[in-house]
Amino acid sequence: MADEITHCYAAPDPRRVARLLDAEGLDACLDMWGYSQTADGIYKLAADGRILLGKAPPERDDADQIIETGSRLGSAFYAAKALGISEITVRTAFKRRRLPIPKLTPEARRQALLTKAAARKIAAAAARGYPISIRGRQLVWDF
């Protein structure tokens, strides 16, 4: 009976946190342990868990690839998506080399948002069966 009541208040196992964070992401970890841990706490537990599991941090060749991709794409977020790693790993690689973390320029951010908005409009129009086309940079309704 006591185990049933107190098991949810036990400190999370760092190995389990590391596995869940790598597989499912931060949201899943916060769903599981958000009552007792912040996001920073989850990341620290996961780092400890990776050490216990024997997973090494990225090697220098990996860090070089991370920095090259981040610099080329101009965004830590897009570099993480392109490499299939967490954004924290990208930021850490830049911090360890004392390089500025890449951020999108306001113009590039605006273009990315416009592209996403256009994609949503196209998907909504297609779902409704409207005939549409794109001419240049304009979305045109073909009625």
Q: What is the DSSP letter of 36?
A: T
Higher pLDDT, 74 or 118: 74
Residue 95 and residue 111 in one domain: no
Question: How many separate domains does the chain show?
Answer: 3
Residue 90 and residue 65 in one domain: yes
Structural domain range at position 111: 106-141
Residue 113 and residue 136 in one domain: yes
Q: Is residue 25 pLDDT above 70, yes or no?
A: yes
What does the block give as tokens for 28? Answer: 């899943």
Higher pLDDT, 100 or 81: 100
What does the block give as tokens for 4? Answer: 């049933």
Q: What pLDDT shows up at residue 109? A: 75
Residue 68 and residue 42 in one domain: no
Residue 38 and residue 48 in one domain: yes
Of the pLDDT bands very low, low, confident and very high (cuts 50, 70, 90), residue 100 is: very high
Residue 72 and residue 98 in one domain: yes
Residue 66 and residue 115 in one domain: no
Q: What pLDDT shows up at residue 142? A: 61
15 burial via Cβ count (<10 Å: 0-12, 13-18, 19+): middle
Residue 25 and residue 39 in one domain: yes
pTM of the model: 0.41
